[in-house]
Structure 1
Amino acid sequence: MTDQWVSFSRHGVAELVHLKGEIDLANANDIGRAIVARTTDANAVLIDLTAVSFLDSAGVRLLDFIVGDLDDRGKPIKLVVGERGAARMTLQLCSFRTDLLATDLERAAEELDR
């Protein structure tokens, strides 16, 4: 049951993944399975991390796996991290790919359309 951490919707051509709360070792695998199941046939993926209050190394590995999988399949992805917050801070500390990070959803969606 991942509904408390992840939900899905559409934003233009992209599958929009909303993550919230704490993403850590206790739930990262379940969240990953839900995301992969929902995004397998997506043309593009937006992952909104602005409501994430904690992101540990398991969460970073999850995001890295999803990005790698989508890259391998030639599908664009953007991570919406806001101006500040737990997810943005953690991803910056881990030197995560900055070309994937966006401050807001509309900007991320526009970048996917390019």
Structure 2
Amino acid sequence: MPFRFSTEPQSDRIVLRLFGDCDLSSLQDLQQAILSALAESPAVQIDLSAVGFLDSSGIHAMVLGYRHAEQHGRALYVTGAGGMVSHVLKMTGVADLLAPPSPGNGHER
């Protein structure tokens, strides 16, 4: 399924909804979408609920986005990962890194 995304500004964050496959062919579009969202909002939630395939390129883009967010005092996290996408995030060790903020830690979303 071809990659595409949409953005939904909310009061405290931008929700970046991804659709399709996040792989090498979508790397530049994904990186640009993440950086643009981080430039507009102090927090970016990446919704992966409509992503059917995620490879190391997609993970790379999200980890780079996470690092960029940290360096600029912003937050980036993923939600909605299921099936193979969730498995890949856990298997690569980035599920915890990109986990949503926990209630009570001062970063409720």
Residue type of the partner of 2:94? F
Q: Secondary structure at the match of 2:73?
A: coil
Residue range with higher mean Cα deviation, 56-65 or 5-14: 5-14
- Once the two structures are superposed, residues 62-104 of structure 1 have per-residue CA deviations (whole angstroms, 9 ceiling, x without a partner) of 011000000111112221034x3232111101011515325xx
Question: TM-score, normalization: structure 1?
Answer: 0.79
Which letter maps to 1:11?
Answer: Q
Percent identity between the two aligned chains: 24
| Residue 59 (structure 1) aligned with residue 58 (structure 2) | yes
The answer (yes or no) to whether the contact 2:17–2:47 under 8 Å persists in 1 is yes
Corresponding letter in the other structure for 1:87: V
Residue 15 of structure 1 and its aligned partner are, at CA, apart by: 0.8
Give the distance between the partners of 1:28 and 1:89, measured in 2 at CA. Answer: 20
Q: Give the superposition deviation at 1:58.
A: 0.4
Q: Deviation of residue 29 (structure 1)?
A: 1.2
CA contact under 8 A between 1:16 and 1:45: conserved in structure 2? yes
C-alpha root-mean-square deviation of aligned residues, in Å?
2.4
Distance in 2 between residues matched to 1:15 and 1:48, nearest whole Å: 10
User: What runs of 5+ residues in structure 1 fail to find an aligned partner?
Assistant: 103-107
CA distance in 2, matches of 1:99, 1:11: 23
Q: What residue in structure 2 maps to residue 71 of structure 1?
A: 70
Give SS of 1:98's match: coil
Going from structure 1 to structure 2, the CA distance change for 1:33 and 1:63 (only over 3 Å counts) comes to same
Segments of 5+ residues of structure 2 without an aligned counterpart are none
Runs of 4+ in 1 over 6 A off after TM superposition: none
Which residue of structure 2 lines up, in the alignment, with residue 88 of structure 1? 86
